[in-house]
């Protein structure tokens, strides 16, 4: 059975790997990618997403979304990922271009067109919060919302309590977590190796 993914990303090196992995699974169809501010400014996140798809040799539509958090000033992780988000490796600009329209509106259309889809978020939740605020009906149309974010049971990577994706736009995160979406939080614990999962749990 083919699973439909919609990916929302602040594309830097880690997200590029995640996108490439999703594209390799034979039972996954990526219906679209929306881009949000985060690891690097929005224009660079967008270029990185388009470049990643070029490397993969696939044609998936991409939309640019929010370029700043809902209320807070924008912050980046360029000190970690490099100015370009890809380790400053000097890759050229992508040859393809994004779709017209805002990423939040694209999320609404994609979810409505793909009921039961899996929404995968790899960055701050600004686009998702905007989409829910504009179209609350999409909450019941998403089968799973897998959020890479949070530090519920470990030390954060920005402050002792906060993981980057949630810290960048906590107001958006609050909207998403309180919306009724079926959220599965993949927290910073997994990145640190602190998850404490058994082999049986990994295999499940």
- Give the pLDDT band of residue 193 (cuts 50, 70, 90): low
In this predicted structure, the answer to whether residue 78 has a pLDDT above a threshold of 60 is: yes
Q: What is the pLDDT of residue 155?
A: 82
Q: What is the pLDDT of residue 197?
A: 63
Q: What is the pLDDT of residue 151?
A: 86
State the catalytic residue, choosing from 8, 10, 84, 169.
Answer: 10
Q: What is the pLDDT of residue 158?
A: 85
Above pLDDT 70, what percent of the chain? Answer: 95
Q: What is the pLDDT of residue 94?
A: 94
Q: What is the pLDDT of residue 194?
A: 54
In this predicted structure, the answer to whether residue 111 has a pLDDT above a threshold of 60 is: yes
Q: Are the C-beta atoms of residues 142 and 182 closer than 8 Å to each other?
A: yes
In this predicted structure, the answer to whether residue 178 has a pLDDT above a threshold of 80 is: yes
* Range with the poorest average pLDDT among 30-39, 83-92, 188-197: 188-197
In this predicted structure, the answer to whether residue 61 has a pLDDT above a threshold of 70 is: yes
In this predicted structure, the answer to whether residue 182 has a pLDDT above a threshold of 60 is: yes
In this predicted structure, the answer to whether residue 69 has a pLDDT above a threshold of 80 is: yes
Q: Where are the domains of the chain?
A: 3-203
10 is catalytic: yes
Domain 3-203 has CATH 3.40.50.11900: no
Q: What is the mean pLDDT of the chain?
A: 93
> What number is the average pLDDT over the span 175-184?
97
In this predicted structure, the answer to whether residue 181 has a pLDDT above a threshold of 70 is: yes
Summarised one tens digit per residue, pLDDT across range 137-167 is 999 999 999 999 998 878 878 888 899 999 9
């Amino acid at each position: 059975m083919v699973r439909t993914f919609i990916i929302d990303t602040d594309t830097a090196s880690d997200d590029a790997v995640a996108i490439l992995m999703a594209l390799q699974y034979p039972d996954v169809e990526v219906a679209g990618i929306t881009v949000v501010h985060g690891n690097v400014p929005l224009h660079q996140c967008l270029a990185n997403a388009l470049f990643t798809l070029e490397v993969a040799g696939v044609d998936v539509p991409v939309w640019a979304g929010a370029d700043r958090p809902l209320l807070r000033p924008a912050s980046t992780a360029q000190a970690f990922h490099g100015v370009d988000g890809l380790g400053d490796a000097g890759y050229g600009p992508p040859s393809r271009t994004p779709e017209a329209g805002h990423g939040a509106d694209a999320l609404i259309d994609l979810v409505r067109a793909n009921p039961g889809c899996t929404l995968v978020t790899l960055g701050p939740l600004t686009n998702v919060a905007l989409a829910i605020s504009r179209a609350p009906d999409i909450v019941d149309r998403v089968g799973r919302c897998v959020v890479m974010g949070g530090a519920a049971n470990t030390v954060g990577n920005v402050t002792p309590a906060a993981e980057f994706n949630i810290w960048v736009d906590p107001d958006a995160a609050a909207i998403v977590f309180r919306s009724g979406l079926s959220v599965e939080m993949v927290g910073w614990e997994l990145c640190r190796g602190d998850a404490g999962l058994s082999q049986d749990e990994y295999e499940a």
